Amino acid sequence: MVPWPIAPPTPDAVGARPRSGPGRRSVEDVTTQRFSFSFAPAHRVAALPFGVLPATTWVEVDETRLRARFGFWTLDTPRANVKDVTTTGDYSFIRTAGPAHLSLADHGVTFATNGDRGVCVCFHEPVQVLDPTGHLRHPGATFTVADPDALVAALTA
């Protein structure tokens, strides 16, 4: 029992934010596209120990942000930070299977669940993903989503 009276929060008060008003867009105005990853069987097995599952891997794009989750790793950057987007492919198993990978050639990060085809996104300002201290930043990221062409279209629209 609490020794003083405390009114329980109302459902409307918990996490309430104005949905609209001067300078604000309503939540309904924001369109978010979510892209799932395409898992090859061998990549799926190699990714399991790192928490990389269909439920924990996705890329989201809305009018202002690019977000990605790949098991334990996340990427979040303003959409305006996207400099270039291209499709790439034919990745080696060793360089893509399992956890998020660091490219030793250009310091990019790879979120891959197959070796066939993906989307390479280059950034104006490098992003933080693999190093929680922020000392290592990535000038680009590769995502092997199920529909690479749709992700390219979403990022270049």
Given strand 73-78, what is the order of strands in its sheet?
33-36, 57-61, 65-70, 73-78
The pLDDT, as a whole number, for residue 152 is: 97
Tally Cβ neighbours within 10 Å of residue 33: 14
How far is the first Cα of the chain from the last one, in angstroms, to the nearest whole number? 56
Provide the token pair at 144. 């092997």
Give the model's pLDDT for residue 157. Answer: 84
pLDDT tens-digit readout, 41-71: 999 999 999 999 999 999 999 999 999 999 9
Q: If 0-12 CB within 10 Å is exposed, 13-18 middle and 19+ buried, where does residue 12 land?
A: exposed
Q: Kindly tell me if the per-residue pLDDT of 79 is higher than 50.
A: yes
Residue 134 — very low, low, confident or very high, per pLDDT cuts 50/70/90? confident
Mean pLDDT, rounded, for 116-134: 94
Q: What DSSP assignment string belongs to 22-39?
A: TTB--GGG---EEEEB--
- Residues 123 and 140: their CA atoms lie apart, in Å, by 6
pLDDT tens sequence across 10-43: 333 333 333 344 444 444 556 899 999 999 999 9
Q: What percent of the chain has pLDDT over 90?
A: 72
Above 80 in pLDDT, residue 6? no
Q: For the residues 135-143, what does the mean pLDDT come to?
A: 95
Is pLDDT at 93 greater than 80 in this prediction? yes
Instruction: Please state, rounded to an integer, the average pLDDT across all residues of the chain.
Output: 85
Handedness of CA 47, 49, 55, 60 (dihedral sign): negative
0.85 surpassed by pTM: no
Q: Tell me what pLDDT residue 28 has.
A: 53
Long-range contacts of 28-34 (CB under 8 A, 24+ apart): 30/62, 30/63, 31/62, 31/63, 32/60, 32/61, 32/62, 33/60, 33/61, 33/62, 33/150, 33/154, 34/58, 34/59, 34/60
Average pLDDT over residues 96-111: 92
